[in-house]
């Protein structure tokens, strides 16, 4: 009788746990489901927001309009995010290597500067940053000499900004990863005559693939979703990343354009979802180490 009661109690607790988990899943997925339903309804307000379209109310016009409106911004964001992400991760890896496995003077103060750079909010540097880019020779004029469009120069400035802002966090992530490396392996390479650059290229870099996946996903998401720097340094125009036209999507409609805005949000989010899918296994491995 006691065993039966104990088994019944365990089953009840397990069922309650599953019920709570299901409720949490529904709670977190409901906004995504509601947005998806709004993006495929011809009349968003005809039914409750979370209900599927009524018979004959399904449409893809919102997705088509959103894709057309955001096409240029998607290309600009790819031009921005890919080099900014790769450079931030690579330079952060190099900096972490120098701050972890090498011994040199002023190493700790330099590390403190990197850590301090993580906590500087975007808003605190907007005015100095805009004045800085305005005070130097416009990059758009320089790229114009080689036949490129002027907005490419604005994107180059934005790339440099995101690289500078991304290096501190990437450095800290890589340094945490490198501190667990086997020092004997690096010392053995030094005894064999390997230079600092060769150790990094032949030993450190190949072993850093999991952490590169972590930093690439993190930094790509940060750069792709940025709106503040894009608005201040570029603003609406030919070179604006996707977040800028997305913030203005549906603003010209006489009514609130819920459908096109929801469709635009999903279109803009697709590249980050693809990155997570491609590097998900390496990301989990890098986080768990």
Mean pLDDT, 10 residues at a time, the chain of 289 residues: 60 86 92 89 76 84 91 92 94 90 80 87 86 69 51 78 92 89 80 83 87 91 92 82 88 68 92 85 69
d(CA 70, CA 92): 31
pTM exceeds 0.85, yes or no: no
Q: In angstroms, how far is the first alpha carbon of the chain from the final one?
A: 47
d(CA 64, CA 134): 37
Task: Determine the pLDDT at residue 150.
Answer: 56
Task: Determine the pLDDT at residue 145.
Answer: 46
Buried b (16+ CB within 10 A) or exposed e, 14-26: eeeeeeeeeeeee
C-alpha distances in Å from residue 231, one per residue of 140, 237, 248, 260, 280: 17, 10, 12, 21, 31
Would you give the distance in Å from CA 163 to the centre of its chain? 13
Half-sphere exposure of 263 (CA within 13 A, CB side): 24
Task: Determine the pLDDT at residue 91.
Answer: 94
């Amino acid at each position: 009788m006691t065993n039966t009661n104990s088994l019944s109690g365990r089953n009840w607790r397990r069922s309650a746990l599953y019920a709570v988990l299901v409720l949490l899943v529904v709670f977190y997925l409901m906004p995504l489901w509601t947005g998806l339903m709004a993006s495929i309804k011809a009349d968003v307000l005809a039914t409750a927001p979370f209900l599927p379209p009524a018979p004959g109310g399904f449409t893809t016009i919102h997705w088509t309009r959103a894709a057309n409106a955001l096409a240029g911004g998607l290309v600009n964001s790819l031009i921005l995010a890919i080099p900014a992400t790769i450079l931030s991760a690579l330079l952060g890896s190099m900096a972490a290597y120098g701050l972890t496995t090498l011994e040199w003077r002023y190493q700790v103060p330099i590390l403190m500067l990197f850590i301090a750079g993580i906590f500087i909010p975007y808003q605190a540097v907007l005015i100095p940053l805009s004045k800085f880019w305005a005070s130097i020779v416009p990059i758009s004029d320089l790229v114009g000499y080689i036949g490129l469009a002027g907005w490419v120069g604005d994107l180059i400035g934005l790339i440099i900004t995101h690289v500078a802002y991304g290096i501190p966090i990437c450095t800290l992530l890589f340094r945490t990863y490198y501190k667990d490396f086997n020092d004997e392996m690096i010392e053995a390479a030094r005894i064999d005559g390997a230079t600092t650059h060769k150790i990094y290229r032949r030993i450190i870099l190949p072993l850093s693939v999991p952490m590169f996946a972590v930093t690439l996903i993190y930094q790509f998401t940060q750069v792709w979703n940025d709106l503040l720097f894009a608005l201040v340094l570029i603003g609406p125009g030919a070179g604006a990343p996707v977040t800028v036209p997305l913030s203005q999507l549906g603003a010209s409609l006489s009514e609130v354009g819920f459908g096109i805005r929801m469709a635009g949000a999903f279109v803009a989010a697709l590249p980050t979802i693809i990155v997570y899918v491609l590097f998900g296994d390496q990301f989990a491995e890098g986080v768990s180490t």
